[in-house]
Structure 1
Amino acid sequence: MMGGMGGMGGMPGGLGGMGGMPGGLGGMLGGMGGMPGAGGGSGGMTGGIGGGGLGGTTGGASSGSNSAGSGAGSGSAGSGSTQAGSTGGGSTGGGVTGGGLPGAGGGLGGLGGMGGLGGLGGLGGLGGGLGGVGGCHDYVIIESRGTTELQGPSAGFRGMIQRTLSSVPNGATVASVYPATPDFAGSPPIGARWVKNYLQQGISSCPQQKYALLGYSQGAMVTWQAVADINPNDQLFNLIKAILLIGDPYHIPGLPGNVDDRGMKTTDGASGIGRAVFPGMKMMPWAQTGKVLDICVLGDMICQQPGANIGPHLTYGPSPQVQNMGAQFLIQKLGGNNGGQ
């Protein structure tokens, strides 16, 4: 669903990194189940993620304006922009943790020398060992990136997260750990499991800590699947203060919180491309309590069906309107002022 954006983790050849649109997109949509015209494949994906490792990703968690990361193999935390190793062998630890996953050197089940996408199979066992982000905070923002974005922060949220951390004290951010490949049957559940484990361990270690869950594209699927079975009477329901989605494949017509990139209702009645495979009733308790902001740019084929195209799906990160609207929503829900414009 992604590709083409400058900050999208080095995708080769713009959309070409998705296997040559529209053939690659057809293969992606086919994985969602019941999508018409599902053909082609996802060739070229290894250029977006593989290449022997997770090179170039920075720490997935940070507090305030500091970015933390863990070194390759050792799992020791450090500050600054420590990068994950990208050598052919060994295990990689940095980038996906930033303190959020203590001792994560090699925590990706030996991803060194990924050999394309096959090595990502080990991600399924990432549930254990999740920790906080350098101790307890007033809140933690958990972001889930879109398809083919490299492990770490998503390009779709950088502006709004930075503003939120600057405006609301004692916060931190962590990136969920999952493959983000076009395997829409297998990839999102891995991310959802990671998020659920993180939340469960967080409530045990830091029972007063609040959360905001952010999801871009496939990351929105991860987010919805992670919260689908949380009962409104559950303590976690109260601690999760905000769910913010952009380019949501599960976009439901008329859901409270549906807006376009200008805060208007032009896409309120749109159905996401994966709408048929996720029960909308599980979203309602979150939306009815004002916890959801689901932004769908007019013409984005991922969250607006029928018709539209892929171009608008790549505009969320660079859009000042989206970043400003997202920041205001997060700041309000997490207890700060609006920090200016």
Structure 2
Amino acid sequence: MIRVPKKRLLSAAAALGLAVTGLTVAAAPAATAAPCTDIDVAVARGTGEPGTLGLIVGQPVFQAVQTRLLPRSVSSYGVNYPADLIQPASVQRGNTDLVNHVRTQAAACPSQRFVLVGYSQGANVVDNSIGISSAGAVVGGPIAATIPADLAPRIAAILLFGNPIRAIGRSVTGTYQGRTKDYCALGDPVCQPLGTNILAHLSYGGQAGDAASFVAGKV
């Protein structure tokens, strides 16, 4: 397997952070899951993304899923974490928050099911939360918490975009493999060894419709 130097991947991630930071958007108010909707979409945004769900992937994917699943009720939750390049515990904080959110919602809403969405660093958050360590990947880290096994059947679908663990030859296996769609655009240096096109890493919003169709087939 060809390995891409972590320094190069960090440079790509930094470029992404600068790219999205330069976008002029108003920060969204904190999004919380509605009390017991049919489906809760929990989103871990990418590094430096503005907005609670993230501008590049989270918001368009949530809107597409919400529309596709009508007339079922769909709520969103933006994972509360720094999504930062320089805070070493950024991924672990997101990992802990996502697992806590699923546990809390599952207890309060016995019929609710979940869709987990992660983009870039946010994909590492989701990986860790389902028991796939992102340690060693760009902006990754060791697992801090995992979704309890008894709640696994309620995770209807998982959507990952620009997932950094792919660049080190890792992927989602085991319990959640058949419920996961993992997008890696051609040339994306964050998820593809020897990728050189940072614009590819900014392209995933175009997959929102396909992602929503995948979710619809799982719920």
TM-score, shorter chain, exceeding 0.5: yes
- Quickly say closer, same or farther: Cα 1:206–1:303, change in 2 above 3 A: same
Question: Which amino acid is the alignment partner of residue 92 of structure 2?
Answer: P
Aligned 1:42-121 pairs, distance under 5 A: 48=21, 56-58=26-28, 95-96=29-30, 98=31, 100=32
1:244 equivalenced with 2:159 (yes/no): yes
- Quickly say closer, same or farther: Cα 1:38–1:310, change in 2 above 3 A: closer
Which residue of 112, 115, 127 corresponds with 1:224?
127
1:315 corresponds in structure 2 to 203
Residue pair 2:39, 2:74 contacting (<8 A) in 1 also: yes
Task: Provide the rounded CA distance (Å) in 2 between the counterparts of 1:57 and 1:285.
Answer: 37
Deviation at 1:38, TM superposition (A): 7.5
Q: Deviations over 1:182-220 (max 9, x none)?
A: 137321111111001101111211122100000111110
Question: Which amino acid is the alignment partner of residue 323 of structure 1?
Answer: A
Q: Which has the higher contact order (CA 8 A, sep 6+)?
A: 2
Deviation at 1:36, TM superposition (A): 4.6
2:173 corresponds in structure 1 to 284
4+ residue segments displaced more than 4 Å: 36-45
Aligned 1:1-341 pairs, distance under 5 A: 35-36=6-7, 48=21, 56-58=26-28, 95-96=29-30, 98=31, 100=32, 133-154=33-54, 155-168=56-69, 169-183=72-86, 185-228=88-131, 229-230=146-147, 234-251=149-166, 272=167, 275=168, 283-288=172-177, 290-317=178-205, 319=206, 322-334=207-219
Task: Provide the rounded CA distance (Å) in 2 between the counterparts of 1:37 and 1:138.
Answer: 42
- Quickly say closer, same or farther: Cα 1:311–1:198, change in 2 above 3 A: same
TM-score w.r.t. length of structure 2: 0.77
Question: Which amino acid is the alignment partner of residue 6 of structure 2?
Answer: M
| Higher helix proportion (structure 1 or 2) | 2
Point out where structure 2 has 5 or more consecutive residues left out of the alignment. Answer: 132-145
What do you get for the CA RMSD once the two structures are aligned?
Answer: 2.9
Deviation at 1:235, TM superposition (A): 2.1
- Quickly say closer, same or farther: Cα 1:209–1:297, change in 2 above 3 A: same
Point out where structure 1 has 5 or more consecutive residues left out of the alignment. Answer: 1-33, 50-54, 59-94, 101-132, 252-271, 335-341
Residue pair 1:247, 1:313 contacting (<8 A) in 2 also: yes
Residue pair 2:118, 2:159 contacting (<8 A) in 1 also: yes
- Quickly say closer, same or farther: Cα 1:158–1:42, change in 2 above 3 A: closer
- Quickly say closer, same or farther: Cα 1:156–1:39, change in 2 above 3 A: closer
User: What SS does the corresponding residue of 2:216 show, helix, strand or coil?
Assistant: helix
Higher-Rg structure is 1
